[in-house]
Amino acid sequence: MTAHAQNNDPDIQFSIDHLAIAVTDLEESEAFYRDVVGLKQIEEPFGVGRHAWFDLGQVELHVIRAADERRKRNLSNHLCLSVNDMDQFIGRITSHGVQFYDASGNPGEINIRPDGIHQIYITDPDGYWIEINDNF
């Protein structure tokens, strides 16, 4: 197959199963996604103390202790979660001391997309950006 070839096989179908991120401190990240963001933690089958899994609806988030260091990340690379109540979510994260930003990086500001969707951005303990919007 050449670099320009496309797979046009109608028998192969795809769906997203999970997103995995590497973190430096599993316990801290586990608490962030569970307690601050409010994701439902689910059972992970390995049981070796290196993973924490979370339910994102049709997809799972796998948080894995595997990163050597924390670093600044580009906002364009982000996970996006939609919530049914943006004000309640902002109250939740601010009660945990988490700062939010608009798409331009202005602290405490909410971005409104051209289609009217409200969005904010937060970072997890390892610097991964998370977009939260109300396109629920």
pLDDT in tens, 71-93: 999 999 999 999 999 999 999 99
Q: Tell me how far apart the alpha carbons of residues 20 and 108 are, in angstroms, rounded to a whole number.
A: 28
Q: Tell me how far apart the alpha carbons of residues 17 and 60 are, in angstroms, rounded to a whole number.
A: 6
Structural contact between residues 63 and 21, judged by C-beta atoms closer than 8 angstroms? yes
Q: Tell me which architecture the domain covering 18-133 has in CATH.
A: Roll (3.10)
Structural contact between residues 117 and 134, judged by C-beta atoms closer than 8 angstroms? yes
Domain ranges of the chain: 18-133
Residues in the chain: 136
Predicted TM-score of the model (pTM)? 0.85
Average pLDDT over residues 50-55: 97
Q: Which of 14-18, 29-33, 113-117, 126-130 has the lowest mean pLDDT?
A: 14-18
